[in-house]
Amino acid sequence: MKDVTILLENRPGALADMGEALGRAGVSVEGGGAWVVQGEGVAHFLMADGEAARRALEAAGIRVAAVREVVVQRLHQGVPGQLGQLSRRMAQAGVNIEVLYSDHDHQLILVVDDPAKGRAVADAWMRERTTERSAS
C-alpha cells in the first residue's frame, strides 16, 4: 500500500475529477482524506498501486506530489490513549509522523519520515500489546 499525495485545485468538481480518473484506470481508494490548506486542495489517499494512481492522475492533468511508503497499525479500539502511546513511541525513536488517517478496515495509516524505523516501532508496539493481552 502507498500514500499518494495529490494537489487539487480548490474548486467544485476537483475531487470528482480525481475520483473519476482513478475509476477509469481501475484504481481503488483504500482510505484517506482531502483538505484545503492555504487555498489549495491537498489529498492523501491510500492505494494498493501508487504508481498506477500517479499515471492515471497525471494523464488527467492532476498533480501528484508524492507516492510514499506507509506504516499500517491496528489500534485496540476499546482502549483509550493508544494514539498518544504509539505517537510517543515514534517520537522517542526520532520518527516524525507527517500524515495520519484511517483506511476502510479501521487501521491507522501513518506516513512518516523514516518508514523502516517507523515500522520497527509499530511492530514492537504491537508485540507488546499482544503480550499484554495474553498475560491478562
Structural domains of the chain in order of their starting residue, each with its CATH number: 2-69 (3.30.2130.10), 71-135 (3.30.70)
46: pLDDT strictly greater than 80: yes
User: Quick one: pLDDT at residue 132?
Assistant: 65
Please write the tens of the pLDDT for every residue from 9-25. 999 999 999 999 999 99
Grid coordinates given for 55? 499515471
What dihedral angle (degrees, nearest 10) is formed by the CA atoms of 103, 67, 95, 109?
Answer: 0
User: Is this structure's pTM higher than 0.85?
Assistant: yes
User: Rounded CA gap, 111 and 31, in Å?
Assistant: 13
